[in-house]
A and B are shown apart, each in its own frame.
Chain A
Amino acid sequence: MNFFIKKLLIVIPTLYIAWTVVFVTLNIIPGDPVNLMLGGRPASDEVRENVRKNLGLDKPVFERYTSFLINATKGDLGKSYLTRQPVTTMIKENMMPTIELSIGGLIFGVFFGVFFGIFAGTKPNSMRDTFSMIIALCGISLPSFWIGMMLIYIFGTTLGWVPIVGEGFVSLILPSITVGLFFAGGMARLTRSSLVDVLNQDYIRTARSKGISKYRIVLRHSLRNAMIPPVTLLGIQFGLLITGAVITEEVFARPGLGQLLLQAILAKDIPLVQALVVYMTAVYIFLNLIVDFTYGIIDPRIRLERNRG
């Protein structure tokens, strides 16, 4: 278990580095934040000065950096320039829809991905292999915003089966498909190729030499070994979920972190962008930790090496 404690310790410096990188890049952005913040309001020069002071923009960059860091440890990530609301509440407000969307996308992606992967991998170069691989290829070639719009057009407006705006579970179906499709394509291709690799391994030939039936070989021997690369892909592709969220929320006009981030970047709302980026990186690293954990379960070599390590 101390492997995971060590891994957790590494998370903090990575987050810190990610946050610093964003702080530096965002400060390069041209445009004076005070102007932007007071954009809408007429304000005399002294008003402008005290705004600059309480934003702490008059202090040199390094001092701002340390003071921001101290507040961050206390959980206060500063206030958004535009809405003057604390950034953490804004994230909390918009978090749920994105989480629902990501989970929907994940379930759709993993389910169809692994299904088509196994369906194709067990009979390489057969009809069903080429068929499912073409579908998987379509999965990764479909631009998510186009497929989203087509889904709305077909199922929403013309057929009217699925509510477009509505609340709750039903309105989650189309967006999850849009986010999940790219995910499913990647998973299917990888599951298939790793299954084919495993079926060519020597220990499969040993199993056959033991007179084990083909069906049992696929289930008992090859599936478990074939699952390692797709799980790795799972870890890396979480990033795609966040990307998907930005576009899908725009197409389906759903509120969420994706929208928030897009508006924040365009409106150069520095504290909000920083908080969002750190939040997304934290989620990304956290999910990768879970993936690492599943490694241990699937592959004894890794588990044993870690207990010793």
Chain B
Amino acid sequence: MELLVKNGFVYDPLNKVDGEIMDIQVRDGRIVGRVSSSAEVIDASGMIVMPGGVDLHSHIAGSKVNVGRLLRPEDHYWDVVPKTPLTRSGVGHSVPSTFTTGYRYAEMGYTTVFEPATPPLKTFHTHEELNDIPVVDKACFPLFGNNWVVMEKLRDGKLNECAAYVAWMLKVSKGYAIKIVNPGGIEAWGWGKNLTHMDDEVPNFGVTPREIIRGLCKVNQVLGLPHPIHVHPINIGTPGNYRTTLETMRCVEDLAKDGKPCIHITHVQFLAYGGVDWLSISSHADDIAAYVNNHSHVTVDMGQVIFGDTTTMTADGPFQYRLYQITHNKWVNADVEAETGAGIVPITYVRKNYVHAVMWAIGLELALLVKDPWKVYLTTDHPNGGPFTEYPRVISWLMSNKVRQRIVKKIPRLARVRSNIKDIDREMTFSEIAVISRAATAKALGLKDKGHLGVGADADISIYRINPKTIDPSSQYREIRRAFRRAAYTIKDGEVVARDGKVVKTPTGRTYWVDPQIPQDQMARTVSELKDRFEDLYTVRFANYGVSEVLLPRSTPIPAQSTL
């Protein structure tokens, strides 16, 4: 099967192509140098051609997301998706059903989406849902930051054993990266408590958040994983938390090697607050951005807030309880034995609300103040800041100071004073948008065949009905939003899967997972030790734990070479 995408303005930052008119050739799902004359032709003249979107942090699947769906029938009623001869029915808005999730990503030109938090004990559930998310490629990040075995090994200084355990866990859960959420704080939440300092000791475990982050950062390097530790630090959503965020980034500064990132701080908008309470909250995006600008070992993603109704959900149980206390909305808590927790609270971000307006500003400030777009990625921490379907809106905000300032005029005066957004006039280019939404995210995830259109890459391509020569994104932000909302074409593995924002084909995407290669005797020791104490940790048997590869329809393991 061959495809020729002709005459589009191509934005392929990884290959340093910046809006040149080029043809892209596809054969058998991959980008190739040339195709035969019988190739199907897509005339992309007057349109933008980019690699398919790659989202590295979006809560789309798993037990927590599903309880979010269960919690919010009122969120589904007004956004319904009927069945068609091709597509399944479903519901949308802030926590869409699985089929709808896949379609809506594809309709926006996204082809790869990673679920960033799964409790290993329930990761089979996550994969079952990922299996039901059509079109896109996907993966999930198991949670390690409050795992009992991890904390014990790090306390005892047994780094290699910890690494072997993490390797085993990634293998059995079919996970992709090490996710850390509120390290140690969720274990403390097992007793209704939380940790607020990097050097607080986790009750009963004798380790600190700092030691957990550093330890897992080292484990990550030892295992040679493709993505650095993916960290949601302590004190999220708390005024004054920019200090712990900086401390979190600093705490692994010395571990960086070869100038490569060794930590990803996620949804950093929720982590850049100054002030001492909600009345004095202010933006410290500038401090965070300055640190990121001056260091090569850290990357971040935005976690942009969208005004409107959405559902917050994180593994951070104590944070979600605090959010309940603030909002008095309905609250879900879901602790997971020996591993982690989760919480869910619906929220409505209101433009006229001073705190929400500051949050809105911070997300944009971070994206715009971090000079190198390869270090800051487009996310809303779906659905925490807002649903992923609002990405086009965020793109329009990043590309147009005009629309930003229009909104700035409508937010409370105090929010204007306590943020920097009014003074930032940077407007991102199409190339920069391509970086933050596909090229850099694919690179950060270590997906070598994604995020670019060079020969050999997966033929995941999105084409948008925008002529960069004639449009002025600064004033025509509505057109930008519209065009990114409905891709003219979304091509997945060389096949057109969506046309003009409508799904036309529903292939099954890959499930990526990392298969760390560690010495067999080390793995055998880990397994035997775990088997011996498994009953002490869990209420399920060792044999019934984990995810069998045969249950993943397009299992795509990525070997990682460890130095164990």
Q: Do A and B come from one complex?
A: no
